Structures are given as C-alpha cells and as structure tokens.
C-alpha cells in the first residue's frame, strides 16, 4: 500500500493552479512530474560538485565521476543488466533508437528485412525508415486488431531468415497496450534476428528485467519515470555493443588518437562521446531510487486501480469511445466523444485546470488505423487520485455539454 497523500507532497508542482483552477495533471505519458528528491539532487550537483567527469584528478571531478558511475550502476541494477557498461547514457529514447539504427547500417544488405509494430511512436519508425533508405533494407509491419493488440500470428508469417532486426514498444503510448515482448523476442531470436524494445512508456510502470527478457536493446527516457528531461539510457547486450561501430566521434570515446589512426575506448565510453548531461544522469539515478523506494509493484497495482476506476467512469458518458481496449494495458486512456474534435475537448479541459494530451500522440499510423484525426489521452501516475479522476470526468461532461 502506498500513502498517496504524503507522496503528493514530494511534488510541489501538484499544488499549483492553472487558469485559476487546481492543476489536475493527467499527461503523465508525455512527461512525468519530478519529485523534490530528484530536484534536490540537481541542486546539490550544481551547488557542490559540478565538474567534468572522467578527466580530472581534482576532488570535484572525482566526486562527479563517482556519482555519475553510481547512477549507472543504480540503473543497471534496476533493469538487471549483467554489467554497468551495458548501460549507455543517452539524451533519451529517441537518441537510443537512432544510435542503434545508425549502428546497423554497416551490418545490413539490400533486401534484408526489418520488422516494426503497427503501434509505434514516430521515434521508433522514422530512424528505421531512414536506415532502410540508406541500405536498401525492407520494413515490414506487424498489424494490430481493433482492440489494439498485435497479431502474433501475422508476426510469425513475417519472420524469416532475412529478418535482421525487430523493434517494438513494450507499451504503446497511444493505446496503453502492454505488448507480449517476451514472445516477440523469442520468436525473433529463433530466426537469428536482434530485438530493440522501446521502453519509454513501460519504464514508469513495469520493471523490465533485460536478462530474463533476453532482449538485445532496451531504451528508455528519464523524464517518463520522474527524472529530468533530455536524458535516458540505452541498454545493449555486451556482444552487440562490441559489434556496433561508435555513433559519434569526439572526446571521451577514444583510447588513443593520432592523425594516422584512432582507437576507440571500451564500453560504455565508446558510445558516450563528449561531455554528457552529468547532472541529468545523476538525477536519473535519484529518480530510479525514488520509484524503487515506493516499489514498482505498488505503483503498478495502484495505477491499475486508477485505470479501472477511470475507465468505468468514462464509459458512463454517452458517445464516448475508448481506443485501446487490450486485455493487458497500463494507465493510459485514449478516447473520443462522438461528434466532438479532441482539440476542442483539450482546450476546454485546460481552462478547467485539467492537463490531458490531444492529437495524434506521435503515432499517426495508429490514428490512421482508426480513421480519426486524434484522440484525447488521459494518463495516470501514482500521484494521481480518484478525486482527481472525478473532477476530470465532471470537467469532461461540462466540455461535452458546451460543445455538443
């Protein structure tokens, strides 16, 4: 059991007002809020030990390096990676995906096949399309059902000895579906293909065990799990990270440089050229500590309760349709009300202090599938309450009455 009242005190932003109304923040799938403990870590860094890492012998540099590497180990343990150097700091999920897409360029032949799911964020589509253009590889799509579940039968028919790589999100940001990634990974491995899982939406809800999953690459963003924006990690299996070429050249990533030849540093530095977001990495570690103190299982159980509560309440509204009704989903509800454009609902909810996301959620193929311009998306975090859901539903009914 978690004590929501006291947890909410960790998030000063939840006390603010928007348009004169108490803020009800239901856009957690876009960015989660940041607790004091993480903000304090950021302040502590800049007040007390801001310095460049891995290069100075002076005390501040040592302290900053120690904390940064400690954060890497915290994240390693969280995702149960076998080694700390399999955790590469990135600027976020998008960066991690681009690193791998770029790394595979030299490994692909024209006619090689890549498989993507029908419910991906643009971040997990576009880098691969660009890779296909550069290499002549072919992109294939695992289709989904009306409920928003991927067809594993169709997936079977797409896999063959030409498949090199499969990429799919763990949880869909547009629908909330929890995808059967263990099955997806095992089937891909059976034909010798590697798998990248986009964990951006899963990381605040589910603790992924990368070894148990046997996944080759797993990417996340800190800002989805109570950490700062602009930082994330790429987990990669050691053998893969050794095999792939570096993504960017620069300082930090070299062993020796001369004009004749440069040798690269070992992992993880090979993929971490330049001065990283040191403070962001350390704060990411603090965010992981924070959510682990609450407990991922506690978080998931409570959020599930919120999901069921909100789903029941919303379905009482005439004309409301939920997109994404998979058996297994997280606390994301994408919906429309018949005859009303999502933008109009979002604009009125904002006036009433309720923050939701409207639009295509960077998943236009999903909107195209349902033949809709977009949806309203409410996504809940562990600091949301049933009272907030009541207020949100009342605001929604008010918006509906104004608009219809």
Which residue lies nearer to another protein by CB, 204 or 346? 346
Min dist CB 87 to ligand PLP, Å, is 17
Which residue out of 203, 226, 279, 362 is catalytically annotated?
A: 362
403 binds, among another protein, ligand PLP, none (CB under 5 to 8 A by kind): another protein
Which residue lies nearer to another protein by CB, 93 or 375? 375
For ligand PLP, which residue of 65, 74, 93, 384 counts as binding (CB under 6 A)? 93
Judged by CB under 6 A, does residue 173 bind ligand PLP?
A: yes
* 279 part of the active site: no
Q: Please return the burial class of 316, using the count of CB atoms within 10 Å of its CB with bins 0-12, 13-18 and 19+.
A: exposed
Min dist CB 119 to ligand PLP, Å, is 9
Stretch that binds another protein, among 104-112, 251-259, 310-318, 346-354 (CB under 8 A): 346-354
Q: What is the Cα–Cα distance from 82 to 53, expressed in whole angstroms?
A: 24
Judged by CB under 8 A, does residue 402 bind another protein?
A: yes
In 3D space, the residue among 344, 317, 341, 343 whose CA is nearest the CA of residue 399 turns out to be: 344
Min dist CB 120 to ligand PLP, Å, is 7
Q: With contact defined as beta carbons under 8 Å apart, do 373 and 340 qualify?
A: no
For ligand PLP, which residue of 32, 34, 74, 94 counts as binding (CB under 6 A)? 94
Stretch that binds another protein, among 55-63, 96-104, 175-183, 338-346 (CB under 8 A): 338-346
Measured in whole angstroms, how far is the alpha carbon of residue 190 from the centre of its chain? 27
The string of DSSP codes covering 293-331 is: HH-HHHHHHHHHHHHHHHHHHHHTSTTEEEE---SSB-S
Q: How many angstroms separate the first and last alpha carbons of the chain?
A: 41
Min dist CB 58 to ligand PLP, Å, is 33
Which phi and psi angles does 315 have, rounded to 5°?
Answer: -70, -15
Nearest-10 crossing angle of helices 36-44, 278-294: 150
Judged by CB under 6 A, does residue 201 bind ligand PLP?
A: yes
138 binds, among ligand PLP, another protein, none (CB under 5 to 8 A by kind): none
358 binds, among ligand PLP, another protein, none (CB under 5 to 8 A by kind): another protein
Q: What is the Cα–Cα distance from 84 to 224, expressed in whole angstroms?
A: 21
- At which residue do the structure tokens 């939406």 appear? 201
For another protein, which residue of 257, 301, 347, 394 counts as binding (CB under 8 A)? 347
In 3D space, the residue among 301, 342, 350 whose CA is nearest the CA of residue 321 turns out to be: 342
Q: Is 163 helix (H, G, I), strand (E, B) or coil?
A: strand
3-state helix, strand, coil split of the chain in percent (to 5) is 45, 20, 35
Tokens of 49: 């030990």
Judged by CB under 6 A, does residue 28 bind ligand PLP?
A: no
Q: Which residues bind another protein (CB under 8 A)?
A: 19, 340-344, 346-348, 351, 358-360, 373-374, 402-403
Give catalytic residue positions: 362
Contacting residues toward ligand PLP, per CB under 6 A: 30, 92-94, 121, 123-124, 169, 173, 198, 200-201, 221
């Amino acid at each position: 059991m978690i004590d929501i009242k006291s947890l909410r005190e960790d998030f000063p932003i939840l006390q603010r007002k928007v348009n004169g109304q108490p803020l009800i923040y239901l856009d957690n799938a876009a960015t989660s809020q940041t607790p004091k403990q993480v903000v304090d870590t950021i302040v502590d860094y800049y007040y007390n030990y801001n310095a460049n890492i891995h290069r100075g012998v002076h005390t501040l540099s040592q302290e900053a390096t120690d904390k940064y590497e400690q954060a890497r180990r915290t994240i390693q343990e969280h995702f149960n990676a076998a080694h700390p150097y399999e955790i590469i700091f990135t600027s976020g999920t998008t960066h991690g995906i681009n690193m791998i897409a770029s790394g595979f360029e030299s490994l692909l032949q024209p006619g090689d096949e890549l498989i993507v799911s029908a419910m991906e964020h643009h971040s997990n589509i576009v880098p691969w399309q660009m890779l296909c253009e550069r290499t002549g590889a072919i992109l294939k799509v695992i289709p989904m059902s009306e409920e928003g579940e991927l067809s594993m039968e169709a997936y079977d028919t797409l896999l063959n000895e030409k498949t090199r790589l499969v990429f799919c999100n763990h949880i869909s940001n547009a629908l909330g579906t929890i995808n059967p990634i263990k099955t997806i990974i095992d089937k891909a491995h059976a034909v010798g293909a590697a798998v990248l899982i986009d964990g951006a939406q899963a990381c605040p809800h589910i603790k992924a065990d990368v070894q148990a999953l046997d996944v080759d690459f797993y990417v996340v963003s800190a800002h989805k799990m109570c950490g700062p924006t602009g930082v994330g990690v790429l987990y990669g299996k050691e053998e893969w990270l050794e095999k792939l070429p570096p993504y960017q050249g620069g300082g930090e990533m070299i062993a020796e440089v001369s004009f004749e030849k440069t040798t690269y540093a070992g992992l993880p530095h090979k993929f971490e050229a330049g001065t990283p977001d040191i403070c962001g990495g350390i704060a990411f570690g603090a965010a992981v500590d924070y959510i682990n103190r609450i407990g991922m299982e506690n978080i998931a159980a409570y959020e599930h309760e919120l999901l069921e509560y909100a789903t029941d309440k919303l379905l009482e509204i005439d004309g409301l349709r939920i997109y994404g009704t998979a058996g297994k989903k997280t606390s994301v509800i994408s919906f429309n009300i018949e005859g009303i454009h999502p933008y109009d609902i979002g604009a009125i909810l904002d006036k009433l202090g309720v923050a939701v996301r409207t639009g295509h959620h960077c998943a236009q193929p999903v909107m195209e599938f349902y033949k809709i311009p977009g949806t309203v998306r409410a996504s809940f975090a562990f600091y949301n309450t049933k009272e907030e859901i009541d207020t949100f539903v009342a605001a929604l009914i008010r918006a509906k009455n104004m608009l219809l």
